[in-house]
Structure 1
Amino acid sequence: MSKVLIIGSGGAGLVSALSAHESGAEVIVASKTLPTRSQTSMAQGGMNAVLGTEDTIENHISDTLNSSAGLGDESRIAFMCERAPEAVRWCNSIGLPFSRNESGEIARRRLGGASAPRACYAQDYTGLKLLHTLYDQCLKAGIEFKNGRFLLNLITDHETNRVLGATFLVIETGEVEEIRADAVILATGGYGNLYGKHSTNSVQASGDGLAAAVRAGARLADMEFVQFHPTALKGSSILISESARGAGGHLLNANKERFTDELAPRDVVARAIHDEMAKSGAVYLDIRHLGEEFITHELPQERKLAQIYEGIDPVHDLILIKPSAHYSMGGIEVNTQCMSSVQGLFAVGECANHKTHGANRLGGNSLLELVVFGRECGNKASEYADMHPAPAVENSQLVKDTNFVRGVMYFTNQIDFYQKQEMLANIFYNNVGLVRDDMGLKAVLGAIRQMQKELPFMGPRDKSKICNTNLVEFIEFGNKIELAEIIVVCAISRVESRGAHYRVDAPQRNDRMFGAHTITWKEDGVLCADFMQ
């Protein structure tokens, strides 16, 4: 029986696991945290699909293309949108408790950038309920989970450009282990936590899979495109779902006046909020007029989050908000088979770039993408593993990574990497955020390269082996620095404004770059970048 290793246990990883299992493969899911703690749980708004006669698949395709600002691939977008109704029906069949309308049909709401209400939802817990439903199905199927495994590197045969498995730090014991497989699926999520306290992401979103992929020879695409969600709580950056605006919530400035179309694409709304905050000093989300009964039934999580993290009740109070880093459009470049430039290495979910989101993701398409491409990816990986079993060859990656972990313990800690991590988050938010320019980007690049030089002086203070989270966080920081350099190099290279990448020194879209993707890779450890169609 062929073996498929899936790294990451969020929605994309679990859908892929079920699909690969159904295709006959032995499946192992390795993850640094528990499946139910995945970032998928924060996808609150819904999953796009055309289910009624008031909408068309052609409109869904058009909305997604328009939102992508010229960087979405029409054929891949069509593939996703055409399979959306089937994806929702599949989720319904495995037990996802969708909200229902008065006729008993799956309820739908309109999210930003959509021309019709097509986001199928489960109150404002859609991602969380999907995640729990998928995990239940995986347990029923007997899929093996290895939790507490922190990805170190992919095992590759460089002569054949073939993946053979991966190495992991077992967090509980401090040992390094390898897992060999015939195919590997990366489903490790995005890199939003580069922005630290200015991100809606959990601390787990450190881009480990992307960093390991580029070290293994894979190519990354469009890494400069990071979506900022318009409405995060001002103090904590906790996400307040687009469903609040989809239900009729208003955005108000400091004078309590509306100033923008609340359901425009996210990049447009986020920049409008940014500009209004600069002018008037504050922006609020107002859902008071929706009424307590509606908020309690349809938006219970938004109310609880505002109460817990900000000490306000949206039934009676305005919600002070700000845009925060939310979603990574860039990721591992994959082909129509979901496979990277490394043979046998597949990627899905936020860590992958299927060229369906382009320069700005349409709200409601993230859960859709992970279901549609998760099912496709699991199937294709299983097929590949069955047809191309990995050779049982000697490989030094396990020895290298064991020596690396031991060596890190000898790093000095003259410099506190937690302080450097906070500094990186702040300069990213200010200079690689909603608004960018050449001078600010180059200043950040200089700071990153200084951090790279200083890394051997930032070692973990905790020198123990057992459950050493300080060690894990230090290695995560190394991954963040590696990706930060790539993101900034891409942002400097793209001298135009498009979607989530807005350059004040080049505010117009450059149509000569229409459809051109920023591709990055490494040769002998040296970062390379180019624009490719």
Structure 2
Amino acid sequence: MQIVIIGSGGAGLVAALEARSLGAEVVVVTKNYPTQAQTSMAQGGINAAMSENDSIENHIEDTLRSAAGLGERRVIEFVCNEAPKAIKWLDSIGVPFSRKEDKIAQRRLGGASAPRACYAQDYTGLKILHSLYDNCIKAGVKFLHEKFLLNIITEDERACGVTLLDIRTAKVEQLLASSIILATGGYAKIYGEFSTNGNGSFGEGVGAAMRAGAKLSDLEFVQFHPTALAKSSILISEAARGAGGKIINQNGERFVDELTTRDKLSRTIYEQIEKGNQVFLDITHLGEDFIQKELPQERKLSLIYEGIDPAKEPVPIKPAAHYTMGGIDTDINCATNIKGLFAVGECANVKLHGANRLGGNSLLELVVMGRVAARSAVQIKDKPQEKKYERTTIDEQFIKAVFGLPNKIDFIERRDFLHKVLYRNAGVFREELSLKGVLSLVRQHQKELAFMGIKDKSPLYNKELVQFLEYGNMLEITEAVLVGAIQRNESRGAHFRTDYPKQNSAFDAHTLIWKEDGVLCADFQKIPEEFE
């Protein structure tokens, strides 16, 4: 059996390692290269209740509270119970966790009732990613680099492969598999320069799944991180606040609890900025020695992108789109509604994070659920028929057509304008009229796609072609996010409606989005009582 994993971040690499250990042939497909994945930006830590002052029950309750009624208890209980085992597994494969008195060190992140996040300085995600990649190489996992996911190949109501664009040649390829695991990351880059995410997090896997007939859920819940650098939106980790960092205005006044949940902190900071104030993260009181030892990356990033040494003066910050709680709808086994298609990590919604992810739970999810996804995928034994599928032919024709499109409208200008409009009107604060205005703009851009094209006509390393494909996917995902945000007439977790500022029990339900004959459909699905 061959399992194809799309995405080489933490979730994809964990799934690859587990599937290999179960005897499967594994191919990991990546748009760039494995160590460039967004997992490397998860700096703060990975949660696990492992100290005398903490408990798994407290971890469960903190996660449920943060999820604001949309986290499913059985999923949360499973992940929190597996957390200590996940840390031991990571430790066993060589992740260099920071230690105190021969124990793995832990720090407190926002929303946590105790120090629970195991960390490796402020490089936690990066160290995990490198360790996973090293172990995948040892295990004989095959990697295909610089391949852009176009679509899922389906036949007889099952997934049997994917179509890929070879970025080096602009040729369309098909890759067949017994089962497919999507681990393509989130879609927070739809906010462009107002996102902490690296280039590429436009949700290609989410879009491809929707086009294939998979259901999506809770797309409107986009978490804004409160401490991104003001100029560049580069993330300054929650570790800085966990260590005692202060949030102040230009007068040196503290105006918020730094360790409250990210949604509340982001809204409070955004309001200060809207009033004309400047907001800063101040860690100067921690001392240069501590900062250099425990927060070296935060110092380096501040120096490079802001020109400020945080050991000597406060750093200007703003909220920026950081993490997407919604995604491809899956059950507790990471299965979608399409046989043979699984999803895990930030591209998936297994109902762990609900309306607002608890800091430190994203790295935990990719380890625990990455292994679950692999165990589920290896159960599919059927081999797809070896032939050229219709989906492949259609995608070949589409790529050829893109090269022939008239370039009457500059899609880069449209994309960048949409980023700004989205951040202002569908960001930290939202209201119906503004959301509908952005939705109209998105649909206008969709109509104009036929008049947009690419200037670069070379098939070799055509990055403009990739950007155009990302833009088309961005429009598709953004439309779905806006539809979800418009129909959820309440405020809950990361979704805050100024026209409906209260949480409403009538919306104790997951938003479902899917396509039928190319038409976007939406509905709510009540949470079964046994999962609440």
Does residue 139 of structure 2 align to residue 146 of structure 1? no
Other-structure match for 1:235: 231
Contact 1:254–1:280 (CA under 8 A) maintained in structure 2:
no
Contact 1:173–1:465 (CA under 8 A) maintained in structure 2:
yes
SS in structure 1 opposite 2:129? helix
Other-structure match for 1:222: 218
Does residue 99 of structure 2 align to residue 105 of structure 1? no
State the alpha-carbon separation in 1 of the partners of residues 86 and 308 from structure 2: 37
Other-structure match for 1:194: 190
State the alpha-carbon separation in 2 of the partners of residues 477 and 268 from structure 1: 31
Other-structure match for 1:250: 246
Please give the residue correspondences for 1:220-369 in structure 2 after superposition, counting only pairs within 5 Å.
220-369=216-365
Instruction: Give a deviation string over 1:410-453, Cα, whole Å, max 9, x none.
Output: 11111111111101100110011000000000000000000000
Other-structure match for 1:120: 118
Q: Cα offset for 1:63?
A: 0.2
Residue from 179, 186, 189 that aligns with 1:183: 179
Other-structure match for 1:439: 433
Does residue 418 of structure 2 align to residue 419 of structure 1? no
Given residue 156 of structure 1, which amino acid in structure 2 is its aligned partner? T
Other-structure match for 2:10: 11
Given residue 499 of structure 2, which amino acid in structure 1 is its aligned partner? D
Contact 1:219–1:340 (CA under 8 A) maintained in structure 2:
yes
Other-structure match for 1:481: 475
Instruction: Give a deviation string over 1:274-331, Cα, whole Å, max 9, x none.
Output: 1122235111100000000100000000000000001000000110000000001010
Given residue 305 of structure 1, which amino acid in structure 2 is its aligned partner? L
Contact 1:253–1:280 (CA under 8 A) maintained in structure 2:
no
Given residue 523 of structure 2, which amino acid in structure 1 is its aligned partner? D
Other-structure match for 1:74: 73
Other-structure match for 2:529: none
Q: Cα offset for 1:393?
A: 6.0
Q: Cα offset for 1:165?
A: 0.5
SS in structure 2 opposite 1:9? coil
State the alpha-carbon separation in 1 of the partners of residues 406 and 41 from structure 2: 37
The count of residues paired between Structure 1 and Structure 2 equals: 526
Other-structure match for 2:530: none
The percent of aligned pairs where both chains have the same amino acid is 56
Given residue 505 of structure 1, which amino acid in structure 2 is its aligned partner? D
State the alpha-carbon separation in 1 of the partners of residues 274 and 451 from structure 2: 38
State the alpha-carbon separation in 2 of the partners of residues 114 and 389 from structure 1: 45
State the alpha-carbon separation in 2 of the partners of residues 138 and 309 from structure 1: 33
Other-structure match for 2:90: 91
Contact 1:111–1:246 (CA under 8 A) maintained in structure 2:
yes
Q: Cα offset for 1:391?
A: 4.1
State the alpha-carbon separation in 2 of the partners of residues 256 and 20 from structure 1: 52
Other-structure match for 1:136: 134
Q: Cα offset for 1:174?
A: 1.5
Q: Cα offset for 1:142?
A: 1.1
Does residue 445 of structure 2 align to residue 451 of structure 1? yes
Other-structure match for 1:498: 492
Deviates more, 1:253-262 or 1:310-319: 253-262
State the alpha-carbon separation in 2 of the partners of residues 288 and 176 from structure 1: 52
Q: Cα offset for 1:203?
A: 1.1
State the alpha-carbon separation in 2 of the partners of residues 278 and 179 from structure 1: 49
Q: Cα offset for 1:71?
A: 0.5
Other-structure match for 1:26: 25
Does residue 524 of structure 2 align to residue 531 of structure 1? yes
Other-structure match for 1:428: 422
SS in structure 1 opposite 2:404? coil
Other-structure match for 1:520: 513
Please give the residue correspondences for 1:361-400 in structure 2 after superposition, counting only pairs within 5 Å.
361-384=357-380, 386=381, 388-392=382-386, 395-400=389-394
State the alpha-carbon separation in 2 of the partners of residues 279 and 149 from structure 1: 45
Q: Cα offset for 1:175?
A: 1.0
Q: Cα offset for 1:202?
A: 0.7
Given residue 112 of structure 1, which amino acid in structure 2 is its aligned partner? G
* Structure 1 runs (4+) greater than 3 angstroms displaced: 388-394
Other-structure match for 1:408: 402
SS in structure 2 opposite 1:168? strand
SS in structure 2 opposite 1:184? strand
5+ unaligned residues in a row in structure 1: which ranges?
A: none
State the alpha-carbon separation in 2 of the partners of residues 171 and 279 from structure 1: 45
Contact 1:27–1:144 (CA under 8 A) maintained in structure 2:
yes
State the alpha-carbon separation in 2 of the partners of residues 210 and 512 from structure 1: 27
Q: Cα offset for 1:104?
A: 1.0
Deviates more, 1:393-402 or 1:79-88: 393-402
Given residue 264 of structure 2, which amino acid in structure 1 is its aligned partner? V
SS in structure 2 opposite 1:449? helix
State the alpha-carbon separation in 2 of the partners of residues 346 and 402 from structure 1: 25
5+ unaligned residues in a row in structure 2: which ranges?
A: 527-532
Instruction: Give a deviation string over 1:197-243, Cα, whole Å, max 9, x none.
Output: 10000111011000000000000000000000000000000000000
Given residue 521 of structure 1, which amino acid in structure 2 is its aligned partner? W
Other-structure match for 2:54: 55
Contact 1:20–1:27 (CA under 8 A) maintained in structure 2:
yes
Instruction: Give a deviation string over 1:355-407, Cα, whole Å, max 9, x none.
Output: 000000000000000000001111111122x3x33344662011111111001
State the alpha-carbon separation in 2 of the partners of residues 150 and 169 from structure 1: 5
Other-structure match for 2:166: 170
Instruction: Give a deviation string over 1:329-373, Cα, whole Å, max 9, x none.
Output: 010000121011111000001000010000000000000000000
Given residue 127 of structure 1, which amino acid in structure 2 is its aligned partner? G
SS in structure 1 opposite 2:323? strand
State the alpha-carbon separation in 1 of the partners of residues 28 and 465 from structure 2: 23
SS in structure 1 opposite 2:163? strand
Given residue 145 of structure 1, which amino acid in structure 2 is its aligned partner? F
State the alpha-carbon separation in 2 of the partners of residues 307 and 522 from structure 1: 46
Q: Cα offset for 1:254?
A: 2.3
Q: Cα offset for 1:57?
A: 0.2
Given residue 411 of structure 1, which amino acid in structure 2 is its aligned partner? L
